[in-house]
Chain A
Amino acid sequence: GQQLNQSPQSMFIQEGEDVSMNCTSSSIFNTWLWYKQEPGEGPVLLIALYKAGELTSNGRLTAQFGITRKDSFLNISASIPSDVGIYFCAGQLSGSARQLTFGSGTQLTVLP
């Protein structure tokens, strides 16, 4: 089946630092979504991207839809303790209705 390669798998950063994570695929996606999941909860949608090259921000978060449509990245600026969680990328193939293919997640730890 389709696979998304998400990296890094985990990150330990100091409060105030910037963070970057990315996802790559061998398939072309027409939508990229970025989610954050905290323990015991479902994933929360952070940013949605719909066009190649699109750059979208949501507060301290910025994500881009790669030009080739096979990759996406998420940046978090000036990290704070509440940024702790697992971040997932998810891609949707053209013609796949609402089926999402998920990356394996990036576990983010913010040290005070």
Chain B
Amino acid sequence: KAGVTQTPRYLIKTRGQQVTLSCSPISGHRSVSWYQQTPGQGLQFLFEYFSETQRNKGNFPGRFSGRQFSNSRSEMNVSTLELGDSALYLCASGGTGQNEQFFGPGTRLTVL
């Protein structure tokens, strides 16, 4: 079974721009969660989608948004980028059984 894939792996943007990141979960998994990882704050939950519906949202500003498509692929968007948005963005894929979650390799976003 193929693992979780995320594209792109690396991105460099400037302040004020927007960015879209993509995540394809493990085949058959319908839950996709997004996390932000920074040295200062660690791993923090952004949001979770299940069957195209956002089920849960973390404590991030409205500039962070996401969606999920019918094939379970998910995208997250960050608008009006700030320097503090530089981070590793990870998505996690979950099945319908136990609560295990499997992470992709992440997208490293650098905001200049």
A residues whose Cβ falls under 8 Å from a Cβ of B: 1, 30-31, 33, 35, 40-45, 48, 50, 88, 90, 92, 96-105
Residues of B in contact with A, size category: 20 to 34
* The one of A48, A97, A104 that contacts B50, using a Cβ cutoff of 8 Å: A97
Q: Closest chain A residue to B90 by CB distance?
A: A42
* The one of B58, B98, B105 that contacts A99, using a Cβ cutoff of 8 Å: B58
Determine if B109 is an interface residue (Cβ-Cβ < 8 Å): no
Q: Complex Cα distance A31/B4, Å?
A: 21
Determine if B59 is an interface residue (Cβ-Cβ < 8 Å): yes
Stretch at the interface among B11-19, B40-48, B65-73, B74-82: B40-48
A33 touches B103 (CB 8 A): no
**Interfacial chain A residues near B92, Cβ < 8 Å:** 98, 100
**Interfacial chain B residues near A100, Cβ < 8 Å:** 33, 35, 43, 45, 92, 101
B90 touches A43 (CB 8 A): yes
A41 touches B106 (CB 8 A): yes
Q: A97-B55, A98-B55 are in contact. Are A43 and B48 (CB under 8 A)?
A: no
Q: Complex Cα distance A43/B104, Å?
A: 8
B56 touches A96 (CB 8 A): yes
* The one of A30, A88, A98 that contacts B43, using a Cβ cutoff of 8 Å: A88
Q: A42-B106, A88-B43, A100-B45 are in contact. Are A33 and B100 (CB under 8 A)?
A: yes
Q: A31-B99, A48-B98, A88-B43 are in contact. Are A98 and B33 (CB under 8 A)?
A: yes
Q: Complex Cα distance A31/B101, Å?
A: 11
Q: A1-B59, A42-B105 are in contact. Are A48 and B42 (CB under 8 A)?
A: no
Q: Complex Cα distance A41/B4, Å?
A: 12
Determine if B102 is an interface residue (Cβ-Cβ < 8 Å): yes
Q: Which of B81-100 contact A (CB under 8 A)?
A: 90, 92, 94, 98-100
**Interfacial chain A residues near B33, Cβ < 8 Å:** 98-100
Determine if B31 is an interface residue (Cβ-Cβ < 8 Å): yes
**Interfacial chain A residues near B102, Cβ < 8 Å:** 45
Q: Complex Cα distance A104/B45, Å?
A: 13
A35 touches B94 (CB 8 A): no
